[in-house]
């Protein structure tokens, strides 16, 4: 059947002029977040702030946690949850001090994102982290390193081209639907609450 279909396509195109690919998308300045600046530190702060605004507008939550503040913050945050399912890519120091459980029953899912996109308010998750922990628990905590926050989706995807995982998940906020009488509800079927924790880790080598 492959040959039949391809032959039909070739015959359909016979005599038609080729049309060139137009090249890269026009500068997605409209979808770019952050203002222009020469200082790398300022630029980063800009991007993180832009991500925060966009992700919050999408219905998500964002915190920025200094590397030394992580243990205290993590303890404070996770004490509200009885159990967590932790992704494979999450290092021990970013793992909540509460009992672990399977994603099917855990109250909190914890992931480490590959990167975050300020322009669209998106975190890009890797299948190697574990898909179920990213989708099944009602609350999802996503860690992302501040240095992995980029301006546009194009940049984010470009970094990840030719990657090894079987799948990438682009999450831009909590699960939502307006299928019931056009009223917005969250949490059907993915997590109804997503919190992105941006961690500064200048001094920390990758785990």
Partner 1 sequence: MAGGSLEYGRKSRDLLEGQPEVRESVTGAALSFDGRRSAAYAEVDVEAWRRWAEGVKSHLLSELDRHLERAEANLLRNGAVVHWAETDGDARRILAELADRYGSRLVVKGKSMLSEELGLNGVLEDRGVRVFETDLGEYILQLLEEPPSHIVGPAIHRSLRDVQRLFHELHGTPLHATPEALAEAARAVLREVFLEADMGISGGNFLVAETGTLALIENEGNIRLTTSLPPVHVAFVGIEKLLPRWDDLAGFLQLTSRAATGQPLGSYVSLIHGPRRPDEVDGPEAVHVVLVDNGRSAVLADPEAWEVLRCVRCGACANACPVYRQTGGHPYGHVYSGPIGAVLTPGLVGLEQTHPLPFASTLCGACAEVCPVRIPIPRLLLMWRRRAVAGGLTDRTTARALGMYATLAERPGLFRAATRLAGVALPLARRLPLLRGWGVGRALPRPQGRSRWSREGAE
Whose CA is closest to 150, among 142, 160, 140, 164? 160
* CB nearer to partner 1: pick between 92 and 162: 162
* CB nearer to partner 1: pick between 104 and 202: 104
Q: Are 64 and 146 in contact (CB under 8 A)?
A: yes
Minimum CB separation of residue 60 from partner 1 in Å reads: 9
Q: How far is CA 175 from CA 9, 63, 135, in A?
A: 39, 19, 9
* CB nearer to partner 1: pick between 8 and 35: 8
Query: What six digits make up the tokens of 130?
Result: 């574990």
The residue within the footprint of partner 1, chosen from 34, 96, 119, 137 (CB under 8 A), is 119
Exposed, middle or buried, 186 (CB in 10 Å: 0-12/13-18/19+)? Answer: middle
The residue within the footprint of partner 1, chosen from 46, 48, 78, 122 (CB under 8 A), is 122
The residue within the footprint of partner 1, chosen from 13, 72, 80, 82 (CB under 8 A), is 13
Q: How far is CA 37 from CA 42, 44, 52, 206, in A?
A: 7, 10, 18, 28
Minimum CB separation of residue 52 from partner 1 in Å reads: 15
Q: Which of residues 127-186 bind partner 1 (CB under 8 A)?
A: 127-128, 130-132, 134-135, 152-154, 156-158, 161-162, 164-183, 185
Minimum CB separation of residue 79 from partner 1 in Å reads: 25
24 contributes a contact to partner 1 by CB under 8 A: yes
* CB nearer to partner 1: pick between 46 and 200: 46
* CB nearer to partner 1: pick between 29 and 68: 29
Backbone Cα Rg of the chain = 20
Residue 24 per-residue DSSP state: S
């Amino acid at each position: 059947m492959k040959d039949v279909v391809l032959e039909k396509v070739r015959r359909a195109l016979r005599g038609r002029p080729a049309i060139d690919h137009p090249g890269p998308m026009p500068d997605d300045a409209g979808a770019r977040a952050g203002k222009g600046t020469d200082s790398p530190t300022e630029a980063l702060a800009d991007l993180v702030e832009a991500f925060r605004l966009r992700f919050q507008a999408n219905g998500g939550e964002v915190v920025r946690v200094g590397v030394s503040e992580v243990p205290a913050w993590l303890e404070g945050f996770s004490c509200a949850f009885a159990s967590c399912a932790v992704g494979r890519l999450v290092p021990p120091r970013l793992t909540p001090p509460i009992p672990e459980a399977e994603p099917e029953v855990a109250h909190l899912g914890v992931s480490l994102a590959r990167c975050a996109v300020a322009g669209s308010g998106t975190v890009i998750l890797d299948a190697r982290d574990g898909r179920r922990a990213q989708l099944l628990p009602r609350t999802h905590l996503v860690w992302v390193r501040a240095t992995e926050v980029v301006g546009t989706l194009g940049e984010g995807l470009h970094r990840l081209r030719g990657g090894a995982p079987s799948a990438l998940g682009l999450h831009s906020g909590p699960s939502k639907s307006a299928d019931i009488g056009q009223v917005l509800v969250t949490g059907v079927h993915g997590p109804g609450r997503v919190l992105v924790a941006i961690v500064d880790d200048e001094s920390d080598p990758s785990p």
